[in-house]
Chain A
Amino acid sequence: MATIDVRARDKDELARSLGWFSVALGAAQLVVPKAMCKLVGATGEGTAPLLMRLFGLRELAQGLAILVRPRPTVWVWSRVAGDALDVSALGVVAARNPGRRLRAAVAAANVLPIAVADVFEARHLSAQQGPPQRGRRIRKAVTINRPRDVVEQAWSEAQELRNKVDTAGAAVLFREASGDRGTELVVEYVEDSRAGDLGSVAKKLTGGDLPTQLADDLRRLKQRIETGEVVRSDASPDGHLLADHLMQRAAQPLESVR
């Protein structure tokens, strides 16, 4: 089973990483502000935790926006500004807590490489022109060890799978594999989740995303065509389902056959 996530959009891996980093840091600042204060060398008393929470709210907002927007140029620049703010705040912390300057210095040293990445990505996004490119082009390929007409026939009979693929507006391609190795079946489509990367991940976690479903469906189709059945094991009695992979029953016979 091959899955290719063809790069067809403005936002690259770095932008997404920065987005997730913001979300994680922001969440920590919101949930455990006192611990975060102490981590950077502040006392964690007075207005400090409240300020830490506000900083966290800012991080969270930036992170979510970067993940949702197709071309989050402004939001990545806002991270650059946030970095400057963070470093100056750490300066204040160091001035007020002379006994714990090392912590503030370490925190500032951690901000710097992130700031470099922020500036790099912000400049990269600023250079993009035209309407923002969104969505992911996804291509799945599987080789089925049967002649092309057999595979095409089986495909036309797989009503449910065909409906799913049609709804997604996917293109389906059959081609003969080299050297008598059967037939290659390729499904290609553009996934455009309304909530951007955040939406894709949410769907993936619930097993409701099409790339995951297609991976399962194509494996099962291959099994049906090649062996006549969907292979079941004691731990995966329903056959290959990615959503079931992490929460399996023990490899023991079932009480009753479903």
Chain B
Amino acid sequence: MRAACWTGRNSVAVENVPDPQILNERDAIVRVTSTAICGSDLHLYDGYVPTMKRGDILGHEFMGEVVEVGRAVHNLSVGDRVVVPFPIACGACNACRRDEYSLCENTNPNARLAEKLWGFPTAGIFGYSHLTGGFAGGQAEYVRVPFADVGPIKIDDASIPDETVLFLSDVFPTGYMGAEYCEIEPGDVIAIWGAGPVGQFAAASAFLLGAERVIVIDRFEYRLQIVHEHTGAETLNYEDVDKVPEALKELTGGRGPDACIDCVGLEAHHHGPAYAYDRVKQALRQETERPFALREAILSCRNGGVVSIMGVYGGLMDKFPIGAVMNRGLTIRSGQCHVQRYMRPLLGRITHGEIDPSFVVTHRMTLDDAPLGYELFKQKEDDCLKVVLKP
């Protein structure tokens, strides 16, 4: 079959690889009908996530048709149309019982690697480095889905197009969880760093959860325009202001946002000497992150507020403003999204017409165009916000 493989820093190639087969009884094989490139795929593409190997199949946002099921899978049949959540979860361990699926204790066969870096291992993730298990990803014609009886959600209504439900696999629930963690109360103002797909969904979700105002911060006008048009959020181009925390204070009558969501992660951009400092440290591998968005989110949040971190971080950061967190009583909430927890309720919101997540799609391509898709998305060329690949 054809699959988009990581072939080194800034390099993706569509290669011929063996077809997947059932390895465990609770596996299913899915023929991929739609798959998307995620912002976190760019961290792999850019070479900032360790333990990638040449030839790793990428992709953790995908959906398709079940073509084979293992003997122990009873809830799915051949022909079912499914969306697959990006974390692989067993459904039986203590973490899964708490609905914390991305923390599943059993699905990472490289648990020791992750344990060394992070203290405890986390769940396996499709196409997302060997640290999270070394599972082949979904930017391919076919994919093996372990624990198919736990994760995938069936889409019975054939009239719903792929693009409307595809993002249930990651970015919609991730944005939603980011907003849910803000414990939004009537009148709340939520600030969101990053108008990429997760930021777009965080903004939409914050309104769904009752926020009064949402302010999205980015530097790309086309992305700010999309979030304003489709969610009603206010926008702030950080290149137009000296200091984002001051601008946010001013926009909120001096109070600061009630909660801040970081939808940027480890490759943030910025201007001035601070950017140069982190850029150099990151290039020399003295720190793994360029955490401007997170620092700003912490410094902007009102006293006693919540900072919700959905942007991906890998290891260690420098100049973490712990004094602000402690003295101002901030709450930090974070995590890879527990997608399985949100798929059903969010599918409900889609079918009830509360949201159509397909508004983020700007580019549709064949799988063979994946290298172009990665480059457009990385360089933000051609007003690219979300690339959907059709194998």
Q: Do A and B come from one complex?
A: yes
Residue ranges of A at the interface with B (Cβ–Cβ < 8 Å): 1, 143, 145, 181-182, 215, 219, 222-223, 226-237, 239-240, 242, 245, 248-255, 257
Chain A residues lying within 8 Å of B91, measured Cβ to Cβ, are 227
Q: Give A143 to B93 CA distance when docked, in angstroms.
A: 9
Nearest CB to that of B132 among chain A residues?
Answer: A233
We find that the number of chain B residues with CB closer than 8 angstroms to chain A is: 45
Interface contact A231-B5, CB-CB below 8 Å: no
Chain A residues lying within 8 Å of B146, measured Cβ to Cβ, are 231-233
Candidate in A1, A181, A229, A254 with the most chain B CB atoms within 10 angstroms = A229
Q: Give A223 to B111 CA distance when docked, in angstroms.
A: 12
Contacts A181-B94, A236-B134 hold; do A252 and B109 have CB atoms under 8 A apart?
A: no
Interface contact A215-B17, CB-CB below 8 Å: no
Which of A1, A234, A255 interacts with B115 by CB under 8 Å? A1
B147 at the interface (CB under 8 A from A): yes
A-B contacts counted at CB < 8 A amount to: 127
Interface contact A1-B72, CB-CB below 8 Å: no
Q: Would you give the 0/1 interface string for B79-107, flagging 1 where the beta carbon is closer than 8 Å to chain A? A: 00000000000111110010000000111
Nearest CB to that of B128 among chain A residues?
Answer: A251
B8 to chain A, nearest CB (A): 12
Q: Give A228 to B56 CA distance when docked, in angstroms.
A: 27
Interface contact B17-A253, CB-CB below 8 Å: yes
Interface contact A251-B147, CB-CB below 8 Å: no
Sample 9 A-B pairs with CB under 8 A, ordered by A number: A219-B111, A228-B72, A230-B24, A233-B136, A234-B135, A235-B53, A236-B133, A250-B57, A252-B17
For window 165-192 of B, CB contacts with A under 8 Å fall at: none
Q: Give A236 to B113 CA distance when docked, in angstroms.
A: 12
Contacts A248-B130, A254-B18 hold; do A229 and B24 have CB atoms under 8 A apart?
A: yes
Q: Would you give the 0/1 interface string for B110-138, flagging 1 where the beta carbon is closer than 8 Å to chain A? A: 11110100000000100100100111110
Q: Give A245 to B108 CA distance when docked, in angstroms.
A: 12
Q: Give A226 to B110 CA distance when docked, in angstroms.
A: 18
Interface contact A231-B124, CB-CB below 8 Å: yes
B334 at the interface (CB under 8 A from A): no
Contacts A239-B109, A245-B112 hold; do A233 and B92 have CB atoms under 8 A apart?
A: no
Contacts A242-B112, A248-B130, A253-B17 hold; do A232 and B24 have CB atoms under 8 A apart?
A: yes
Which of B26, B57, B109, B112 interacts with A215 by CB under 8 Å? B112
Chain B residues lying within 8 Å of A222, measured Cβ to Cβ, are 93, 105-106
9 A-B pairs with least C-beta separation: A235-B134, A250-B55, A236-B109, A253-B20, A251-B56, A234-B136, A226-B92, A227-B90, A253-B18
Chain B residues lying within 8 Å of A249, measured Cβ to Cβ, are 53
Interface contact A231-B109, CB-CB below 8 Å: yes
B99 to chain A, nearest CB (A): 14
Which of B3, B21, B113 interacts with A254 by CB under 8 Å? B21
Contacts A219-B111, A251-B134, A252-B3 hold; do A227 and B26 have CB atoms under 8 A apart?
A: yes
Chain B residues lying within 8 Å of A230, measured Cβ to Cβ, are 24
For window 6-62 of B, CB contacts with A under 8 Å fall at: 17-26, 53-57
Nearest CB to that of A146 among chain B residues?
Answer: B92
Candidate in B23, B113, B136 with the most chain A CB atoms within 10 angstroms = B23
Which of B26, B112, B127 interacts with A229 by CB under 8 Å? B26
Q: Give A256 to B125 CA distance when docked, in angstroms.
A: 23
Q: Give A232 to B135 CA distance when docked, in angstroms.
A: 9
Q: Give A181 to B94 CA distance when docked, in angstroms.
A: 7
Q: Give A242 to B112 CA distance when docked, in angstroms.
A: 7
B338 at the interface (CB under 8 A from A): no
Interface contact A250-B54, CB-CB below 8 Å: yes
Candidate in A181, A227, A251 with the most chain B CB atoms within 10 angstroms = A251
Q: Give A254 to B17 CA distance when docked, in angstroms.
A: 9
A181 to chain B, nearest CB (A): 6
Interface contact A1-B111, CB-CB below 8 Å: yes
A238 to chain B, nearest CB (A): 8
Interface contact A235-B110, CB-CB below 8 Å: yes
B360 to chain A, nearest CB (A): 27
Interface contact B110-A240, CB-CB below 8 Å: yes
Q: Give A181 to B124 CA distance when docked, in angstroms.
A: 22
B386 at the interface (CB under 8 A from A): no
Interface contact B26-A233, CB-CB below 8 Å: no
Which of A145, A236, A253 interacts with B144 by CB under 8 Å? A253
Chain A residues lying within 8 Å of B93, measured Cβ to Cβ, are 145, 222, 226-227
Q: Give A245 to B146 CA distance when docked, in angstroms.
A: 20
Interface contact B24-A252, CB-CB below 8 Å: no
Nearest CB to that of B113 among chain A residues?
Answer: A245
Interface contact B134-A228, CB-CB below 8 Å: no
Nearest CB to that of A143 among chain B residues?
Answer: B94
